[in-house]
Amino acid sequence: MRKTPLFVAYVVLLVLVSAAAGDPIQATHAVELEDPAGDVLNEGEDLGKDVVRLQVATDGKELSFSVLLADEVAAYLAGRKAGDVIQVNVDTDSDSATGGKTFWGGKEGFEYLVSIRACIRYEDGEACVGGLSSPEQGYFSSYEVAQFTQGATDAKDVHDIFWESPRTEITGSEVAVRIPYAELGVSSGQALRLAIREADSTYDAESFFPEVVLTLK
């Protein structure tokens, strides 16, 4: 499903080094990946949130994720369809023998799982999973951080998605969040291995982007 990613060098970036087939992509400070449209699972009238481009950048204090969808976010969320857009498995200690593993695909060695979500604001409340029976007023992004225990495929929440995550309005097709280094216990110069999954894609290893080893600014 995944085609060779396209890397774009932008402003302060970054030397991106191509990886041999099967090896993680090595990137410094930022990386951009592309994904073909139409590779998500659609159930009835529910459109899977179709990611076509992903940018990850660092500034010395935060990781920023910018996820571009194939269509306006309203096409995917209208009704009660809030939920994950991408799931980011983070290996912070460069040791594939420590930490948990992904539920889909069986990738190993991750300390954290970051779920980046497209949420709905209603007249009577908010939802980042599913939705409410209330008039919609708009859309916003949020994220959840969970920590793996050794060998586990599930992760325990360490970040309250509603009260701790900044809300960024979504008015088009871009879902963006910024995550402080402190939430992942990482610092400048550290290398993170990222296994990023398109949340509404197939339930196997093919739903992942190529792995990236990203050195933080």
Which of these ranges, 19-33, 93-107, 193-207, has the smallest mean pLDDT?
19-33
Mean pLDDT across 8-26: 51
Strand partners, 122: 125, 136
Quote the pLDDT of residue 146.
Answer: 92
**Alpha helices in the chain, H assignment, sequence order:** 73-77, 181-184
Q: Which residue has the tokens 């409340």?
A: 125
Q: Tell me which amino acid residue 12 is.
A: V
Taking only the tens place, the pLDDT of each residue in 168-180 is: 999 899 999 999 9
Quote the pLDDT of residue 104.
Answer: 82
Q: Tell me the C-alpha to C-alpha distance, in Å, between residue 72 and each of 23, 54, 97, 118.
A: 33, 15, 40, 12
Q: Which residue has the tokens 């080893």?
A: 213
Q: What is the spatial order of strands in the sheet that 30-34 belongs to?
A: 30-34, 51-58, 62-69, 174-180
